[in-house]
Amino acid sequence: MHSHYHKTSKLSRKSGPREAVIKGLLESLVLYESIETTEAKAKAVKPVFDRLVTKAKKGGLHNIRTIHAQLGSKVAANKLVQELVLGFESRPSGYTSLTPTGFRRGDAAPMMQVRLMLDADFEDKIKQLQADKAKLDETKKATKKTAKKSAKETVK
């Protein structure tokens, strides 16, 4: 039986397996930006993801390390901290949307789609970020080449 003050579902698992399921769902949600899962799992993942996004928006070393620890995947954590945060700038909260999609065929479990509620100009921000990274890489390569040339000339 559940005590009154417990808000999260136990998902019929002990704490270790439950944390592993949530970690996997969080990683998939960050990488694919939309997942379909059971209603109970979707409702369990939503508040955890919202807290992660709030930490990513605040920034700071401690928050970033916490995000890495909770997601478990460097790729997913970096995507959340560097890219997805740009899509949530105008939102103070409510970063995910839960949409019922019907019932699972095998056991008729209610299914839900969990989607990220990204800003309308998110794609433009990502393109700008990629262009800035490419420009920075070009300048780094150019400075390395000139440094090598000048080093060779001083040796002669």
Q: pLDDT tens for residues 102-139? A: 999 999 999 999 999 998 888 888 888 888 888 888 88
Owning domain of residue 132: 120-156
pLDDT value for 132: 87
Say if residue 105 is in the same domain as residue 53.
yes
Number of domains composing the chain: 2
On whether both 38 and 109 belong to a single domain, the answer is yes
pTM listed for this prediction? 0.80
CATH number for the domain spanning 48: value is 3.90.1030.10
Q: How far apart are CA 59 and CA 40, in angstroms?
A: 30
Count of alpha carbons within 13 Å of 137, Cβ hemisphere only? 6
Residue 110 shares a structural domain with residue 136 = no
pLDDT at residue 29, as a whole number: 96
pLDDT at 5 over 90: no
